[in-house]
Amino acid sequence: MTNNLPPLPDTPPLPARAPKPAAKRRLPLIIAAVVAVALAIGGTVYWMTRPSYDDIVKGCQKALAAQAKAGGKGKPGACNDVKKDDYDTLVIASVIDGMSKKDRDLLDYYDNGTIDGSLG
Phi-psi group of 18: left, alpha or beta (phi > 0 → left; psi -120 to 50 → alpha; rest → beta):
beta
pLDDT tens per residue, range 7-61: 667 767 776 777 666 656 788 888 999 999 999 999 999 999 988 899 999 999 8
In the chain, pLDDT over 90 holds for what percent of residues? 21
Reported as half-sphere exposure (CB side, CA atoms, 13 A), residue 7 has a value of 6
Q: Which amino acid is at 53?
A: Y
DSSP type of residue 116: S
pLDDT value at residue 98: 75
Output the CA–CA distances (angstroms, integers) from residue 61 to 55, 69, 76, 97, in the order listed: 10, 13, 10, 11
pTM above 0.85, yes or no: no
Mean pLDDT computed over every residue of the chain = 79
Phi-psi group of 93: left, alpha or beta (phi > 0 → left; psi -120 to 50 → alpha; rest → beta):
alpha
pLDDT value at residue 32: 93
Confidence of residue 67 (pLDDT cuts 50, 70, 90): confident
Buried b / exposed e over 18-36, threshold 16 CB at 10 Å, is eeeeeeeeeeeeeeeeeee
Give the Cα separation of 81 and 90 in Å (integer). 13
